Homo-oligomer: A and B are copies of this chain.
Amino acid sequence: MEQASLRDLNEPLIDHAEGQFFLNEAFKIIMEEVLSNGTDVKQKVCEWKEPEELALLLDLGVRETGEPRDKLLQRVRDVAKYSIKTSHPHFFNQQYGGVDYHSLAGRFLTEALNTNLFTYEVAPVFVLMENEVLRGLRQLVGWTEGDGIFCPGGSTSNMYAMNLARYQRFPQVKSQGVWALPRLSIFTSPESHYSVKKGAAFLGIGLDNVIFVKVDDRGRMIPEDLDEKIELSKSQGAVPFLVSCTSGTTVQGGFDPLEHIADICDKHKLWMHVDACWGGSVLFSKKHRHLMKGVDRANSVAWNPHKMLVAGLQCSALLLKDTTNLLKQCHSANATYLFQQDKFYDVNLDIGDKSVQCSRKVDCLKLWLMWKAVGSTGLEERVDKAFIHARYLVEQMKKREGFQLLSMPDFVNVCFWFVPPSLRGKEGTEDYQEKLAKVAPVIKERMMKQGTMMVGYQPLGNKVNFFRVTVFSPLLSQKDMDFFLDEIERLGKDL
Contact = CB atoms under 8 A, between A and B. Distances in A.
Number of copies: 2
A321 interface: no
Nearest to A47: B124
Contact of A60 (B34, B129, B175, B389): B129
Interface stretch (A114-122, A141-149, A396-404, A417-425): A114-122
B63 A375 contact: yes
Interface string A64-78: 111100001001100
Given A80-B109, A154-B358, A209 B177 contact: yes
Nearest to A197: B333
A15 B18 CA distance: 33
A325 interface: no
A174 interface: yes
A58 B128 contact: yes
Contacts of A99: 14, 19, 114
A60 B381 contact: no
Contacts of A477: 9-12
Interface in A461-482: 465, 468, 474-479
A11 to B, nearest CB: 6
A174 B210 CA distance: 11
A174 B200 CA distance: 8
Contact of A124 (B54, B372, B441): B54
A306 B102 CA distance: 26
A250 B336 CA distance: 11
B153 A180 contact: no
Most buried by B among A62, A251, A357: A62
B206 A203 contact: no
A80 B112 CA distance: 9
Interface in A207-239: 207-209
A439 to B, nearest CB: 11
Nearest to A475: B12
Contact of A385 (B13, B24, B27, B389): B13
B342 A465 contact: yes
B313 A361 contact: yes
A379 to B, nearest CB: 9
Contact of A132 (B62, B123, B203, B349): B62
A178 B175 contact: no
Nearest to A334: B194
A58 B130 CA distance: 13
A201 B178 contact: no
A371 B20 contact: no
Contacts of A201: 173-175, 330-331, 333
Contacts of A457: 340
B152 A179 contact: no
Interface in A82-112: 82-84, 86-87, 89, 93-94, 96, 98-102, 104-105, 107-109, 111-112
A162 B39 CA distance: 42
A494 interface: no
A460 B337 CA distance: 8
A159 to B, nearest CB: 8
A346 B14 contact: no
Given A99-B114, A314-B361, A342-B441, 11 more contacts: A12-B475, A23-B31, A24-B31, A27-B108, A34-B113, A62-B136, A63-B372, A67-B372, A152-B156, A177-B183, A316-B359
Given A441-B344, A459-B336, A62 B101 contact: no
B22 A105 contact: yes
B76 A369 contact: yes
A184 B476 CA distance: 53
Given A359-B154, A377-B65, A459-B336, A54 B93 contact: no
A198 interface: yes
Nearest to A137: B62
19 contacts: A11-B477, A22-B101, A27-B108, A51-B124, A51-B127, A51-B346, A54-B124, A58-B129, A64-B375, A72-B372, A79-B125, A96-B116, A122-B454, A155-B356, A176-B209, A177-B183, A178-B179, A195-B333, A338-B456
Given A34-B109, A204-B203, A358-B195, A72 B102 contact: yes
